[in-house]
Amino acid sequence: MIKIRVVSLAALLLCSMPAFAQIQTYSLTDMLQVALRQSATVRIAETRKENRYWQYRTFRANYNPSIQLSGSLPDFNQDYIQNLLDDGSLLYQQRRRTNPFANLSLEQPLVWTGGTLAINTNLNWFQDYLNDFSQWNGTAVNISYRQPLFSFNRLRWDRLTEPLRYEESKREYIQETEFMARQLIDYFFNVLEFQNNAGLARFNLAATDTTYRIAQRRYDLGTLSKDQLLQAELQFIKARQEEASARIGLENARVQLRLFTGLADTSDFVLTLPEQLPSLQVSVQEALTLARQNRADVIAFERRRLEAERNVAEARAQRNQIMLTASFGLTGSNNSFNQLYNNALSQQRINIGFSIPVVDWGRSRAQIQTALAGKQLTEYLIELDEIKFEQEIITLVNQLTALKYQTELSRRAAAVAQERFQAAQQRYRNDKLTLTELTQALNEKDAAARSYIDALRNYWAACYDLRRLTLYDFEKQQPLLQAH
């Protein structure tokens, strides 16, 4: 019965449009598809997802070998230089020379040690034009290794946290699209409410017009008082005001929905009431299990713990800075390029550089204690977030059955109120009901219709909140991760 009433209201709206107007009808599913394709919220989420993907690619590239070619060409120089003579005087001498240089290197970071292994080769040519002198110099191969000792190994920690961050970003993208869908429910039902109000206002305008005409006839016959006639006229005027206000509210709600979904069509449209409710049989334990498997928050909890541990490790490593450097290679020098390495010499170097604070007035200890306190605070915050995480799901699942039952009751109440008003209207025509009683029946009809739409809104909002909180499609029985 209620479906027939709602459809009749939509038909009344359609009939009120100009005959040439093309009225598009959208369901909730239609609007969701439009929003997923065109809304600014989804485009922002997609851009953020792509940005995080390239951040992850950058992280992966940090562990790959890199090959670099560097140098300077042609590096020609002509100027004057100061030359200090034995007697202490200065002599400015002209120079004109070329000194090009090229170096090819390959570097490979080592994850578990934090060191860097490098292989390079270089070539240098020097020519002095004024003294007619030239020479080649080069390193055939040089192998070097740099190893920080007792220091913070960022590569190893990034390898633990960055994959979690990337996986978290993929799930956050789905959560953002589901949050968009949840917002769409509000915009969609805002239009539905004003659309329903407009239909009710038109229906009530016609009903009060009929009531006013009946009152005028009765007043002319002397069976109705002047006070009752004015009351009927006042109801008719209020109905006209409400109808005009409802039309303005409906147009504003449509504009807001267009802006949110990115709907390019600026013509009028009508939304269909989503009365086919999804039947969700979800237990609290099932919802919690699915949320722990799918939500980005669970991964974020683990990442935040690791980052807190990393901060402690970094603070402890900053106390002592020791770097071990070792290299071996072959180098040569000759006037002829073909004989550059005929008398090559071995190139060897080992060095240990260190920076150890002797007295820092408690600075290192303070940094470590700050990191430890930050780690403890992170643990407390994660515990609170986990409690909130579970409580939100428990509350929602417990409400879901009650909301569906309330929706069914509201549907029946709207049908009963509509039928009661029709009966009251007939009794008023037969002069068996007062105008006050008829007005009361009219108001109860409108309140029941609005209450039904509110109940539908609450149930659909709860369904999409459950999807967002679990990242699971309970109708298709599959994780939303598989759908993207």
Write the DSSP assignment of 20-42 as a string of letters.
Answer: T---EEE-HHHHHHHHHHH-HHH
Q: Is 149 in a helix, a strand, or coil?
A: strand
Q: Which residue has the higher pLDDT, 337 or 180?
A: 180
SS3 of residue 304 by DSSP: helix
Both ends of the chain: CA-CA distance in Å? Answer: 39
For 157, 162, 371, the CA distances from 308, given in Å and listed in that order, are 11, 14, 7
State pTM to two decimals.
0.77
CA contacts within 13 A on the Cβ side of 173: 20
Q: What is the mean pLDDT of residues 185-201?
A: 90
* 1 — pLDDT class (breaks 50, 70, 90): very low
Q: Which domains, ranges and CATH numbers included, belong to the chain? A: 2-59+157-305+372-483 (1.20.1600.10), 69-110+113-151+323-356 (no CATH)
- Residue 360's pLDDT band, with cuts at 50, 70 and 90, is low
CA angle 469, 470, 471 (to 5 degrees): 100
b/e string for 27-52 if b means 16 or more Cβ within 10 A? ebeebbebbbeebebbeebeeebeeb
| pLDDT confidence of residue 380 | 94
- Cβ(202)–Cβ(17) under 8 Å? no
> Which residue type, as a one-letter code, is found at position 477?
Q
pLDDT in tens, 286-309: 999 999 999 999 999 999 999 999
Residue 295 neighbours by CB distance under 10 Å = 23
Model confidence pLDDT, tens digit, residues 63-118: 999 999 988 888 888 888 887 777 777 878 888 888 888 999 999 999 888 889 99
For 347, residues 6+ apart whose C-beta sits below 8 A from its C-beta are: 139, 142, 327, 328, 329, 330, 331
- Could you read off the pLDDT of 382-422 as tens digits, one per residue? 999 999 999 999 999 999 889 989 999 999 999 999 899 88
| Least confident stretch, 1-5, 293-297, 421-425, 480-484 | 1-5
- The pLDDT value recorded for residue 6 is 43
- Range list of β-strands (E), 263-414: 269-271, 321-334, 345-355
Mean pLDDT of the region 427-451: 85
What confidence score (pLDDT) does residue 468 get? Answer: 92
pLDDT at 12 over 70: no
- Give the confidence band of 484 by pLDDT, cuts at 50, 70, 90: low
Question: What is the 8-class DSSP label of residue 361?
Answer: T
